[in-house]
Amino acid sequence: MDLANEDAMSSTMFDWDYLLWEVRFILVAVGFLFYLEVFLLSHLLSSWISVTYCNFSSKEKVFWNIKVTRGVFGLQSWVSGLWALLIDPVFQADKVYSQQKWSWFTCLIASGFFLLENVTVHLSNLIFKTFDVFVVVHHFLVFVGLLGLILNTKSGHYLPLMGMLLEMSTPTTCISWLLLKAGYSHSIFWKANEWLVIHLFHCRMMLTYHMWWVCISNWNDVVENLGLLHFIVLFLGLVSVSIIFNPYWMYKRTMHVVSPTDWNFPHAEVKTGQSGKLNGETIQKKRI
């Protein structure tokens, strides 16, 4: 396809006046409703085709559908993040102040997703009486960071897009958990996917170093562009991802290869796939 035709098509697709409050809020709502539909569609399809899913507890079903929804969002993050990182000439030229119409659209849809994530996580914690501090803090910082972008129409989009690209691991972690619960943790495909997950977490760490380089080399401009409060949220998010989240999740994923267990539900029953055992008790194998 001709590049000029691609640019014309993309400019038409994203041709909104993003300075209008109603446009921004509508697209946040669209992102929320779209990923809510993904969540509900995952439940309907899984109930129809998966015996494993039907035998889950309510909490595990919610977590399954959250994983699928995160995996779909991860695909969006892959496309938009890599486009900004490697291809888009505007973001290549200016990593602090640059904006694009497509980046506005992408960031607003992502805001809707993380709004759904926060609602789902908090409702799940309330209903099932659980609390994962890592997930709560992570999603809160991300949503507040994107909220700052919605409120400050002058803030650049490169760093938020790189933050979205950190979700690059979610499609593979989704596949890993679904196959684990279905009893395929001893398959070659699961092990290959698990090593890909570890590789992507290394890429996440390299990406955070790149974000630090952008911030440090343009420190005054970044603070001026974002505003002090928004910059503090970005700084806290980068520190937590660099020092706590990435190393911790890297360690957990590495241990997962050696010992494929579901640490989200340590007392739940997980099929082994090869031996047909369920927490040490022999059962009849079932299809996914």
- Asked if residue 214 is part of any domain, the answer here is yes
- Asked if residue 288 is part of any domain, the answer here is no
Chain centroid to Cα 2, Å, comes to 32
**The predicted structure's pLDDT at residue 268:** 59
- Asked if residue 103 is part of any domain, the answer here is yes
28: pLDDT strictly greater than 90: yes
Dump pLDDT digits (tens) for 143-186. Answer: 888 988 899 999 999 999 999 999 999 999 999 988 888 888 88
8 A C-beta contact, residue 14 and residue 40: no
- How big is the chain by its Cα radius of gyration, in Å? 20
Dump pLDDT digits (tens) for 258-267. Answer: 877 776 666 6
**The predicted structure's pLDDT at residue 3:** 43
Domains of the chain: total: 1
Dump pLDDT digits (tens) for 53-82. Answer: 898 888 889 989 999 999 999 999 999 999
- Asked if residue 111 is part of any domain, the answer here is yes
- Asked if residue 268 is part of any domain, the answer here is yes
- Asked if residue 234 is part of any domain, the answer here is yes
Return d(Cα 249, Cα 142) in angstroms, integer: 17
Please give the share of the chain, as a percent, with pLDDT higher than 70: 87
43 lies in which domain range?
3-282
